[in-house]
Structure 1
């Protein structure tokens, strides 16, 4: 018996380290595999989509030298840190779509590696690997890894800051082996200094970062309170508490001191930015659904999540349990459990209090990692939980449940990749295609107007034509600026984007509608491309008096010319009146018919390019309504073309108003010259 026992002891001593090494190797292999998968996912199709408006501002700022950039940033709502770094990156890598976006992709990969480091420090290897998997396939993380903006960098800096904060928290509990070492060589000082510097980088990355520091502040209060109580109960000195408090306080003061040069600018930017919620109001139910879907599955959750939301909630519930094997069993596992929870809850409160709508869900790249850590802890709990029945296979049921749940969630996330890459609903605005369309239709003497100065940067990135581009509004005399532009150019291409923010008075479009003739109006994603022709002097007006329906009368009209070339535009001015208020919105249709009566081309628009809605007409007033009809480039020359006019209900079934004995009015016979 004794010899048997003595022989078994060496076997146990040799097996345990071997298993530990095997587990360590498997963990590192899983981490490397996930990082390779993450890199593949993030670099796949990274330059397939066009840069969009926000990325255009990145391009414009990155091309400036640092003093000019800092001066420019003072008039914006962003801090300069990201733009300085991406400018340096651009100097080395170039300014192609791939080069600009790869900067974000690398930061995304760094955030994934740091997720493992933070997760292992909080909850152990299994939770950390699970969290890495959840971040790897989350389409919110992937989407912003493929965008030349600061959100991937924000996530990486936030996770690094939390990791350093955790190391600082853990430092007072370390053995005092270096108590005789100089203060600048002690771990508390090193981690405190690192926290101060990293948080400074975060403050210069995005204005959302102070929320990360707030979460750290809440957790620091809980940490110091717990430490003080523990020291008091043990009747030990409170010196560790005071040292920790002083270190954390000084670290934050250093961060604030480093941010102080920008603080007055930040205050002016934030207070002058107004209400960030410029989109249509959202219900709380809609916002909460979007919030939880994005931070758990990603931006494509609505097409990929299915019924897997219940699995997420179950994981989060299991993640609240205290189980042997999850954590360090040093008396602070409950505190560590609270960190991702406080992180998520603080973010939700931040959004609700500031009334940030779903437009700002891009700020959630750090919070998505917090949720992944919480979910990862749920997997670790299932792995380590010990059922009452220890006989195989019953003892393995919780582990099987954890592995199956993680696999099912990851498969669901993978299903979200295809819509992320290919579904038009998740594509960025196609400025590349917009500019190509403008260039394909430009003629000598044309001009381009963009509805905000920021549009100039993204259009300039793709534009290779010769026509001048005018960003408006840029002065207090926008009307005069447009008049001067119309005097120089026969045709104008106008690009409208975000006019509610950039031109709230609608001065640009209103002036163009009043002083030029709209040829076409086309939506390209969230942008509008409108073509205008500069007005001509009409030789004479034709008196009409034709009545459309019961109340509307066409008083008179004028045409620029009865003879045009293919590719030209017919300009038409209509003067309407009504003898009673109208409760229906009508559209004007103008059609050019071929000699055989078939349709050659047409244009439909509400009066005044949408500025003179029929429901706004007042009895006795004359409404000036300008239109331009583009003649197709390939229209055969000849006589016998007919120009007709009519009105129809803008709402289905789009019934036409009667005029005379029909439902349209013949205006002129048109000749097309070669």
Structure 2
């Protein structure tokens, strides 16, 4: 029986949505195929707010010691001198950041604002990449939630306002992951070459980039186990490694120095776990890695975006944990910064799989909470301007002593090493101080020799200053004889102390 036109129209309206229609609706894409502008507009607002927050108070606080090393490396006359900086004085920190900062500061100068503004640029780039990855792996609303989760995170703000390589590392890592995913699904020669170049930039920025490349290799291994060849993606990874090979001998030497040369002792001395514990940790980590790479699929989406993110985020810290147990402490939150940023995507993806409504509410709530907390979460300002003023106000002939050697804890401070031969804290001091006071390096690993030098030079000059990275108990052994010298502690914080030393009766 033929139904009236009005009845047929009513049946069309009442017809349940198809799976494709529901998916399109969840993605915020109208049925005419055009992408919704609302997530883009909200993301643009987040990006503008992020730019304002990241740029706020950029030049207010003095540079920290590590930031001063960035300025020192960037001020070198050329690339060859820049390359020698991390090799000789700062193992583990590779050259790419210093080279980019060198050319950036040639245009904008070496002020605190100029040095930190490059980190702001990379941090805003990271926000764009988080959104782009969310669109690539999930949908634009999930991408928006991930961007909101990361944008005002206190850790993201700290990275943006610090003149160090970590914002660049995060940005390069996420850009490489995005390009790898596109090469994996839509192979192309140009994109494959670009992916390889970006991959090589990772370890040239920080040695932790090698672990990220390893995690991406694990992702491609899982594809291979499921019959997916990813030829162009494999070629991109091979190109990345090939481009890093010329630097490999230097990287290996730095790795040995990092592990055995005590430059990581600020993380703590070796813990000397028993063989049984090492075996348990090693086997557990290996089992977890194997399950992540070869375990059965738990997602309906054949691309497995959740597992892919878990592999990319979890494998690098797993390697650091195993290395810390087997060899020497090497785990630091900053080294995992790309994975921390990518965790916003993982959280948004998991929440979206459970409930789109709760994903949106929690992402907005977390962003609001971060904005409330930020004014109370500013790091303690560095004291270098105040210390310099004290020295400048005193005798111009009074020497300033700096301990050479790697910044260490406990008994390892007494282990001879060639780290920072001019004194670790001389670089931030010299960034702010322009006086003529002699700067003298004393061996931080030889308290007796350091004490002898301090007593001799202070006696002849009538006074002096000591800038130390040792704690109160460790520094006592290098301070001069209290019967002949007066020692006044002018400043103390973690890993930094400042003393005024004068002969008694002066």
Q: CA 1:516–1:161 in 2, change beyond 3 Å: closer, same or farther? A: farther
Shift of the 17–418 alpha-carbon distance from structure 1 to 2, 3 Å rule, reads closer
The change in CA–CA distance for 1:7 and 1:405 in structure 2 (over 3 A counts) is closer
| Equivalent residue number for residue 405 of structure 1 | 362
> Structure 2 CA distance, aligned partners of 1:105 and 1:8?
55
Aligned to 2:321: 352
Aligned partners of 2:257 and 2:482: how far apart in 1? 32
Q: Which residue, out of 451, 466, 469, partners 2:436? A: 466
Q: CA deviation at 1:281?
A: 7.8
Alpha-carbon separation, structure 1, partners of 2:318 and 2:488: 45
Q: Kindly state the Cα deviation for residue 188 of structure 1 after the two structures are TM-superposed.
A: 2.8
Q: In the aligned structure 2, how far is the partner of 1:95 from the partner of 1:259? A: 29
- Three-state SS of the structure 2 residue aligned to 1:354 is helix
Q: CA deviation at 1:119?
A: 1.2
What is the CA–CA distance in structure 2 between the aligned matches of 1:474 and 1:279, rounded to whole Å?
17
- How far 1:406 moved relative to its partner? 2.2
1:254 Cα deviation (Å)? 2.2
1:17 CA drift (Å): 7.6
Per the alignment, residue 341 of structure 2 pairs with 369
Aligned with 1:381 (options 348, 353, 358): 353
Cα shift readout 1:9-37 (whole Å, capped 9, x = no counterpart): 99x99x99856678521121011111111
Q: Is the 8 A contact 2:29 2:35 kept in 1?
A: no
Equivalent residue number for residue 85 of structure 2 = 72
Q: Which residue of 1 aligns with 2:414?
A: none
Does structure 1 residue 518 correspond to structure 2 residue 503?
no
Under a length normalisation based on structure 1, what TM-score does the superposition of the two structures give? 0.59
Compared CA separation, residues 517 and 343, structure 1 to 2 (3 A): same
| Superposition pairs of residues 142-157 of structure 1, within 5 angstroms | 142-157=157-172
| Distance of 1:343 and 1:381 partners within structure 2 | 19
How much has 1:447 moved relative to structure 2? Answer: 2.0
Cα drift, residue 487 of structure 1: 5.3
Q: 1:402 to 1:71 in 2, by over 3 A?
A: closer
1:134 corresponds to: 149
Q: Which digits, 9 at most, give the CA deviation of each residue in 1:36-60, with x for residues without a partner?
A: 1111111112222211111111111
Tell me, in whole angstroms, the C-alpha distance in 1 between the residues paired with 2:357 and 2:366. Answer: 14
Match of 1:58 in 2: 70
Deviation sequence 1:360-399 (CA, Å, 0-9, x none)? 21123211122100111134324xxxxxxxxxxxxxxx54
Could you tell me which runs of 5 or more consecutive residues in structure 2 were left unpaired when the two chains were aligned. 272-296, 405-422
Preserved CA contact (<8 Å) 2:403 2:444:
no
Shift of 1:204: 0.5
Determine whether 1:343 maps to 2:307. no
2:181 matched to 1:166?
yes
Quote the RMSD (CA, aligned, Å).
Answer: 3.4
| 1:417 aligned to which of 343, 349, 374 | 374
Partner of 2:121: 106
**Equivalences, count:** 437
**C-alpha distance after superposition, 1:463-500 (max 9, x if no partner):** 13332222333999756754663354111011112589
Q: Given the superposition, is the C-alpha separation of residues 39 and 348 from structure 1 closer, same or farther in structure 2, using an over 3 Å criterion?
A: same
Is the Cα–Cα contact under 8 Å of residues 429 and 525 in structure 1 kept in the other structure? no
Instruction: Mark the CA change 1:17 to 1:279 in structure 2 (over 3 Å): closer, same or farther.
Output: closer
**Partner of residue 43, structure 1:** 55
| Matched position secondary structure for 1:523 | strand
Q: Using the TM superposition, give the Cα deviation of residue 461 of structure 1 relative to its aligned residue in structure 2, in angstroms.
A: 1.1
**C-alpha spacing 1:267/1:427, structure 2 compared with 1 (3 Å):** same
Ranked by relative contact order (alpha carbons within 8 Å, sequence separation 6 or more), the top structure is 2
Q: Secondary structure at the match of 2:59?
A: coil
Residues 358, 437 of structure 1: alpha-carbon distance in 2 compared, 3 angstrom cutoff? farther
Contact 2:317 2:331 in 1 (8 A): no
| C-alpha distance in structure 2 between counterparts of 1:217 and 1:204, whole Å | 18
Q: Would the alpha carbon gap of residues 347 and 2 (structure 1) be closer, same or farther in structure 2, given more than 3 Å must change?
A: farther
Larger Rg: 1
Distance in 2 between the 1:483 and 1:62 partners? 36
Q: Residue in 2 aligned with 1:613?
A: none
Q: Select which of 255, 260, 263 maps to 2:248.
A: 263
Task: Compute the displacement of 1:265 (Å).
Answer: 1.1
Q: 1:17 and 1:344 mapped to 2: Cα distance?
A: 29
Q: CA deviation at 1:419?
A: 2.2
**Alpha-carbon distance in structure 1 between the residues aligned to 2:390 and 2:123:** 34
Q: Secondary structure at the match of 1:472?
A: strand
Deviation at residue 436 of structure 1 after TM alignment: 2.3
Q: Confirm or deny that 1:445 pairs with 2:397.
A: yes
1:498–1:39 distance in 2 versus 1, CA, 3 Å: farther
Whole-angstrom CA distance in 2 between matches of 1:509 and 1:365: 38
1:519 aligns to what SS in structure 2? strand
User: In the alignment, is the contact (CA less than 8 A) between 1:51 and 1:97 conserved in 2?
Assistant: yes
Deviation of 1:148 (Å): 0.5
The reply on whether 1:431 has 2:384 as its aligned counterpart is yes
- 1:221 and 2:221 equivalent? yes
Q: Is residue 96 of structure 1 aligned with residue 111 of structure 2?
A: yes
CA distance in 2, matches of 1:281, 1:484: 33
Deviation string 1:46-85 (CA, Å, 9 cap, x unpaired) is 2222111111111111110221121233213121110011
3-state SS in 2 of match to 1:530: strand
Q: Please state which structure has a larger fraction of its residues in helix.
A: 2
Find the counterpart in structure 2 of residue 191 from structure 1: 191
Q: CA deviation at 1:352?
A: 1.6
Partner of 1:278: 266
Contact 2:29 2:36 in 1 (8 A): no
Structure 1: gaps (5+ residues): 172-186, 229-240, 284-319, 324-328, 383-397, 536-559, 561-568, 570-674
Shift of 1:145: 0.8
Query: Could you list the per-position Cα deviations for residues 434-455 of structure 1 after superposition, in whole angstroms to 9, with x for gaps in the alignment?
Result: 2223323x12432211224232
* Offset at residue 358 of structure 1 (A): 9.5
Matches within 5 A, 1:504-515: 510=478, 512-513=480-481
* Structure 2 match to 1:210: 210
Measure, in 2, the Cα distance between the counterparts of 1:94 and 1:134. 33
Q: Which protein is richer in strand relative to its size?
A: 1
Corresponding residue for residue 417 of structure 2:
none
Corresponding residue for residue 275 of structure 2: none
